Amino acid sequence: MKTLLIGDLAPGTQQYLEEKTDLMKVTNEKFLAGQYPDVQAVVLRTFTTLGREELARLPKLKYVVSCSVGVNNIDLEALREKNIELIHCPGTNANSVAEHTLHLMMALLRQDPQRPFAELKSKTVGIIGLGYIGKVVARKLLGFSCKVIAFDVLEIPQEVLDELHVEMKPFDTVVKEADILTVHVPLNKHTQHLINEKVFSAMKEGSFFVNTSRAEVIDEEGLMKHQEKFRGIALDVYSEGIKFTNTHVILTEHVAAQGEDSFKNQCKEPIQLFLEKVNAESSTASQSMSSF
């Protein structure tokens, strides 16, 4: 199958595609300038936008293989309309993002490793979005004897909450009660600027704020306006040119999912699913040839 790989995958995972497909590789920048009349599958990560304009240059596309968990870079409605199948593996990078979140929390609490520091014990951690990542964050916090409260639009089974020692509360309560607020929702039209100026204004004076979801989930102007109230802010995702006067800010460059093992799974699992489909297609094709 003629397959287009856009950008780089985790080390060692590109070879699966090379062995089993007719593979062409382009950079993200080159992709935007090309036409791909024969390509039937694209393999991409969150850094490639695949909207109607890009899809128009891929007239034979049958599969989109996303080696990222967030799929806000892909126009899902356009895929449905064009009958293009999306293959991705939710949850494959949850451990990596959760470990990075914990790392950011600990780094915020210990601003200067040589000086007295705040402890997680007895703090209230608020989790917005208790999906794959939010749950792993809660699980990792179990050992720290802190109180964990959360809000999610979906109902989470009570046995899961009991196991994770999480108490679900209304959004406004989580925001007001959290000493550390961490955000793990997908970006969509409902969550764009979910954490807006009103939310930052309602948060505790001297609290900590962590975002490893998507930049657009946060109203960055609102964060700027209220930045001085925070004892620490850590962002893995943010807009270019963002500037802080608060000196206790940690910025990482969208690396939360790049823990070595998770990054590999996040690339390998959707590619394996895709290759199973390619195999099934070619065996169906050869069966119908032999019965001809």
Ligand X SMILES: NC(=O)c1ccc[n+]([C@@H]2O[C@H](COP(=O)([O-])OP(=O)(O)OC[C@H]3O[C@@H](n4cnc5c(N)ncnc54)[C@H](O)[C@@H]3O)[C@@H](O)[C@H]2O)c1
Which residues neighbour 208 within 8 Å (Cβ) at sequence distance 6 or greater?
Answer: 105, 108, 109, 179, 180, 181, 230, 231, 232, 233, 234
Size of the site for ligand X (CB under 6 A): 33
Which region, judged by CB under 6 A, interacts with ligand X, from 14-22, 102-110, 150-158, 282-290?
Answer: 150-158
Q: How far is CA 253 from CA 117, 214, 215, 239, 279, in A?
A: 25, 12, 11, 10, 37
Q: Looking up tokens 């620490």, which residue turns up?
A: 232
Enumerate residues 122-141 that contact ligand X by CB under 6 A: 128-134
94 binds ligand X (CB under 6 A): yes
Give the x/- contact pattern for ligand X in 58-77, rule: CB under 6 A. -----------xx-------
184 binds ligand X (CB under 6 A): yes
Which region, judged by CB under 6 A, interacts with ligand X, from 1-9, 207-215, 223-231, 268-276?
Answer: 207-215
- Out of 90, 118, 169, 244, which residue is the one contacting ligand X (CB under 6 A)? 90
Q: How far is the CB of 35 from ligand X (least distance, A)?
A: 30
Nearest residue (CB) to ligand X, 23 versus 137: 137
Which region, judged by CB under 6 A, interacts with ligand X, from 54-62, 101-109, 113-121, 182-190?
Answer: 182-190
Enumerate residues 265-284 that contact ligand X by CB under 6 A: none
Nearest residue (CB) to ligand X, 51 versus 170: 170
Q: How far is the CB of 18 from ligand X (least distance, A)?
A: 26
Binding site for ligand X (CB under 6 A): 69-70, 90-91, 93-94, 97, 128-134, 151-154, 184-187, 190-191, 194, 212-214, 236-237, 254, 256-257
